[in-house]
Structure 1
Amino acid sequence: MSNKQVEVNIAGQPYRFAIAPDNEAALLEAVALVDDKMNKLKGTVSTKGVERVAVMAAISLASDLLAMRHKQEEEGAIPVEAVRARIRELNDRADEALRQYAHVGTR
């Protein structure tokens, strides 16, 4: 699958990305989040230059991400993939048991 060119605007600046077509929705969601954060910071912080606002937005977003990770760790969140793997394993075992005992009670 070839990459697709996607042009977006972040804080009034155009950016072009080459991405796989199935990643476009995720990119646009991320762009909207960054654009929103940068525009809010531009209006409230006395900084000069898009680069400084971008760094401040990146730090703010990274801080939010880390806070969510720490909260998950504190709450003992179970990794989704581990749960899915365990469910598959239990389903396989149940299917095997049903196959082994399918004939019981049919005589």
Structure 2
Amino acid sequence: MSNKQVEVNIAGQSYRFAIAADNEAALLEAVALVDGQMTRLKGGVSSKGVERVAVMAAISIASDLLSLKRKQQEDGAIPVDAVRARIRELNERADEALRQYAHVGTNSPVPRN
């Protein structure tokens, strides 16, 4: 998969990203979020203060992300890996049950232990 050049504008500054074409929508969504936060925080800050505004925006976004993660944990959300492991375990048990009872409904004699 080849990379695509995407130029975006954040707080009046132009930035160029090389991304996979199928990631463009996610990049543009992230750019809009960062640009929105920086615009909101920037107010009357001079262009020399853009770095400070960028850090403040990053902290604000990170804080929101961490808050969402904490809420997800408090709500008892099950991690995807745990769900996958449980599904794998249930599939293995189902396969074993099918192997043990494969003879049911056939004319084969019932295996005895």
TM beyond 0.5: yes
Structure 2 distance, partners of 1:75, 1:19, is 34
Unmatched segments (≥5 aa) in structure 2: 108-113
AA in 2 matched with 1:70: R
1:48: which partner in 2?
Answer: 46
Larger radius of gyration: 2
Structure 1 distance, partners of 2:24, 2:89, is 33
Q: CA deviation at 1:3?
A: 2.0
SS in 2 for 1:7: strand
Query: 4+ residue stretches of structure 1 with deviation over 4 A?
Result: none
Structure 1 distance, partners of 2:21, 2:99, is 43
Q: CA deviation at 1:99?
A: 4.0
Unmatched segments (≥5 aa) in structure 1: none
Structure 1 distance, partners of 2:85, 2:29, is 29
**TM-superposition CA deviations, 1:46-88 (whole Å, max 9, x none):** 4333222211111100111111222233333221222123213
AA in 1 matched with 2:65: L
% identical aligned pairs: 81
Number of residue pairs matched by the alignment: 105
Q: CA deviation at 1:42?
A: 2.6
2:94: which partner in 1?
Answer: 94
Counterparts of 1:20-99 in structure 2 under 5 Å? 20-43=20-43, 46-49=44-47, 50-99=50-99
Structure 2 distance, partners of 1:99, 1:32, is 54
RMSD over aligned Cα, in angstroms?
2.0
1:17: which partner in 2?
Answer: 17
Per mean C-alpha deviation after superposition, the further-off stretch among 29-38 and 92-101 is: 92-101
Structure 2 distance, partners of 1:47, 1:59, is 17
